Structure 1
Amino acid sequence: MALVALVGSTVLFPLIFRASTWACLFCFTTHEERLRVCRMFVGTEGSKLGQCKDALTAAFEGLSDMEINYDERSHLHDAFTQMTLSLQEVAAAHGEWSFKAAFPSAAAKMKRTIHHLKKAQHSWSRLTGVQEATRRFHCWGCFSTICDLPLDCPVQDVTVKRGDQALFSCIVGFQLPESELTYSWKFAAGGLRTQDVSYFRDVPGAHGYLARIGPVQPTHRGTFSCVILHDQRPLARLYFYLNVTGPPPPGETELQVTFREVMNWTPREAETIEPWRPGLSELLARPSALTPGILFLIAAIAALVSASVTVLVWVFFRWYVSGD
């Protein structure tokens, strides 16, 4: 498994480290602290000071490597700090040359301390994604490394009936950082089942760890991808292949029938628009239609009819009288 080194003592995630206790001496104690310990044992004379420093290094050099979680790193640092203080107390109490016994004793206690720290975990969730438990800190170089697990999770199949809603959850089986976490959703259209990032396009409006598609249509068939980012760096990529099944909804079928009827419709011949010629009953039923001209015409017709009736009655009377 490839390892990508990340140099620096400050890191974003808890680490797992495999540490040589001899090297950890140099990671968790400073040159000034080690020099102060030896000066308290032998003073400032050059030759004696050199022998003391060599003895301190040799005492920790023979210890085996240890592997613990990085969240125990602060405990290990505190243990080394306490060790240097204890050595100074021994030097003050016993004086010169007592370091020959004090240093191996301190190294043995440190070995027991490391053994009691929580050991590293190897049961990584699904062996995908940048997980906290995969980081290590190496005392021999005072740097950290991360196990380069693949970012891509296996494609998950999601089957939804046409017209229903599809819900995707961008959730992984390992703990994620609590801050500066973002989600990016993409889609590979055309029914493609792929993990090739070149086929994916951004899904507008999808930003959280949940994405909802609805109502689902055949055009939604394809692969959806969610990228989990921490501080703009990817932690994992999840893939969901959406398969759309079932006939179209009844309402959609009726709409399609209506659409076909509209497309097959042919216009009829244009009808002739005739002027309105209302009868007398229509005029009397609609007072608004009795304009002054119409009223004059009705009066004239009534007068003509009355005169005609009078003439006919007079002619009939003369004929009847002359017959007698």
Structure 2
Amino acid sequence: MALIQMRGRLMPRDDKPVENFAFGQRGTRATLHIGLVNNMPDAALRTAELQFARLLKEAAGGFDVRLHLFSIPEIHRGDDVRARMDGFYADADAIPEAGMDALIFTGSEQLADRLSDEPYWRTLTRLMDWAAAGTVTTLFSGQAAHAAVQHFDGVRRRPLPKKLTGVFASLRTTDDSLLTGVPARATTPHSRKHGVLENDLTSRGYRVLARLMDGSVDLFAREGRSRLIFLQGHPEYGADTLGREYLGDMALFLEGQSERPQVPENYFDRVTENALLALTGRPAQIADYVEVVTGAVPLQSWRGTTLRLFANWIASIAAEKPRRRIARTAATHRSV
């Protein structure tokens, strides 16, 4: 029987396999409760859920980790998606009372001209404020990282000349416990149209932990009551995610709704890239691209590095949680 977070309390569901939500060695150590605030659009919601669930499962090791799913009600959902979420997700307003040790925020599709004009902005930023004080650590992924630094410190993301999509070398810039065992030069996927500048971050107290080869920021952190971790890339991506995103963008192009998408860099082998290039010279259907992309094997694997990163993150939660409990107990005794 699995346990999921619903309306601020744990509720059993007999039809969901336990490994989707409870990971590691149960009962051997204090349970670590991690909440996923899944803001992805409908088409990517389930994918993001599974990617983070599988990642935490593989990285949990000897720790007893429970994943709880939360949603922000102001994010528009289709009826079918909403019906499914009603059985698996709790309202994000329940988070402060739900006993979360850590949170993961995913990005969302930007529909308004400015992030701060999105209908969910007030709820999102209220949750971010709570996370910065009420968790051991919180991780912001992709667009959520941009929203967080804008809210906390007024750091505005900037549009890139073209979409950054592909698998890129990430160079460690400093020693940090989060990067223990991570190679000095690793690889990680990126898929974004915006970025934040290092000078804008460091001038406000952020610490850059890794950069891409072009000098742009990959991974950074901010210290405080909670340690905040920010990812501009998507190390949680599965091996086929960039390929599926490319097919989605290509479908929009073939329907006349967007410009021709670029092929993800350092992702496909040369034969696959040449086959995709050949399709640009003649009328083609999306099925032609699907046939090429689904038959390809990505050039690089980033899974090992990602697992090491998240294993370190989980270990930091386990190490800090008892210290926080002791500090709270001491503060309570002093106030009596």
Category of TM-score, reference length = shorter chain: under 0.3
Provide TM-score, normalisation by structure 2: 0.19
Provide TM-score, normalisation by structure 1: 0.19
